[in-house]
Amino acid sequence: MSDHMKQENEPLIKLKQNFPLTIKRLGINGEGVGYFKRKVVFVPGALPGEEVVVEAVKVQPKFTEAIVKKVRKRSPYRVKAPCPVYEQCGGCQLQHLRYDQQLKEKRDILIQALERHTRFHISEMDIRETIGMDDPWKYRNKSQFQLREMNGKVIAGLYSMDSHRLIDVPECIVQHPATNKVNNAIKRIFQDFKVPIYNEKTKKGIVKTIVTRVGIKTGQVQVVIVTAGTKLPRKEMIAAEIQKRLPEVVSVMQNVNPKQTSLIFGEKSFNITGKEFIDEKMNEFTYELSARAFFQLNPEQTVKLYDEVKKAAALTGKEKIVDAYCGSGTIGLWVAEGAAEIRGMDIIPESIEDAKKNARKHGIKNATYVTGKAEDILPAWHKQGWQPDVIIVDPPRTGCDQKFLQTLLKIKPKKFIYVSCNPSTLAKDLQTISHMYEVKYIQPVDMFPQTSHVECCSLLILK
């Protein structure tokens, strides 16, 4: 075998090899990205512009993962992460980057996705500056903490990155303070009442997870105790103690999840004490949030995002609107006053019930909600001669269903407003419909400060 052939077959980077690297940009998960011998290298914790020495910890044919051994040239935007368990926890990815720069990098993550997945002339596109928060901390209205017993003490927190080590998080600084306070009190109550905490290895014990959600504007808190089976001894006493020590808790629920999955909730929920739901307000709207109802995790930024949708729709009172993937109808309600009619659909029947209830409660008479897939329902309406002017969509991370996009191209509304929580699937979907729709602009919104998530509102116009 010739020397040349030998070089071709050898891996360019070896495991545990140390080498210098210049970080060019941030990846989609907030990690630094650089190139060594023309191979892409991902380095968590490294920032664009930094010169670092790294060690390869995982070598794949297409990419290498590495860790920082030494920073030779620091980014001027590097700051000390204020959270004591930031490095271990993995819930946040960008606390070590100054906030104003986080906003710039998020816009860049969006641009990278467009470069990778579309054939657009990106330099000619209107990609706006990211809308951030005045105070990018303490914003999350819901926490889901796993429980474990260690040396007779109950700890609650999150699993560390890529491992099954539970990191105790007594004070999470991106969580609303009410959730931290409630979680810490409940840990003590469980300890005082000697509640058996579930152990994954032995499959013994009862309580797995504690889910806490606060209505930021109303101050109401709901606690959901997730158990491995239906049995929860002395549950009324425990619930009474929770309400005694924490008067802000107006709802205590039990959810049963016997399965060994990464999903937090099981199918069955029971009310132990108080209400079945808590109330939350956003501007003039009030929402009832039940244990498993989806609701945005950062209401302050949700108002800004929905206002962007309203701006993009620019309704005059004559338009027919479709709110596809409508959930409990939040976006449709937000734009309802400027619309002639709103129709929404979702595949989850409980969400549709909530949407109907929300519309009734806010006196919105021009709204219709049905259970099912947009790609089945829209053509049926179209056959009846109902033509929407604007379709609004806010799909899950996987993006729009391909059948939905084909349906959109057949129905041809004048405006299509795409709210996305994943730049990669957004870019792919925009490319799919680009022969018929022009992207007027994309407005990134920072819904999750300190993390690598980017939310966008895009306005598309029929060509």
Q: Which residues does the annotation mark as catalytic?
A: 421
> How many angstroms separate the CA atoms of 339 and 341, rounded?
5
In DSSP notation, 31-45 reads -EEEEETTEEEEETT
Burial of 356 from C-beta contacts in 10 A (0-12 / 13-18 / 19+) = middle
Classify residue 263 by burial, with Cβ atoms within 10 Å: 0-12, 13-18, 19+.
exposed
Q: Which of 305, 300, 306 is nearest to 176 (CA)?
A: 300
What ranges make up the beta strands (E) of 120-267?
142-150, 153-159, 166-168, 207-214, 221-227, 249-256
Phi–psi pair at 419, nearest 5 degrees:
-95, 125
Q: What is the DSSP string of 72-135?
A: EE--TTB---S-TTHHHH-S-S-TTB-HHHHHHHHHHHHHHHHHHH----GGGS-BPPPB--SS
How far is 325 from 22, CA to CA, in rounded Å? 42
- Return d(Cα 15, Cα 217) in angstroms, integer: 51
Q: How far apart are CA 446 and CA 461, in angstroms?
A: 24
Q: Angle of helix 423-432 relative to helix 402-411, nearest 10 degrees?
A: 40
> For residue 313, what are its two tokens?
């729709």
Inter-CA distances, 111 with 28, 278, 352, 414, Å: 11, 39, 35, 25
SS3 of 402, please? helix
Distances (CA, A) of 168 to 172, 221, 332, 423: 10, 22, 39, 32
For the chain, how far is it from start to end, CA to CA, in angstroms? 58
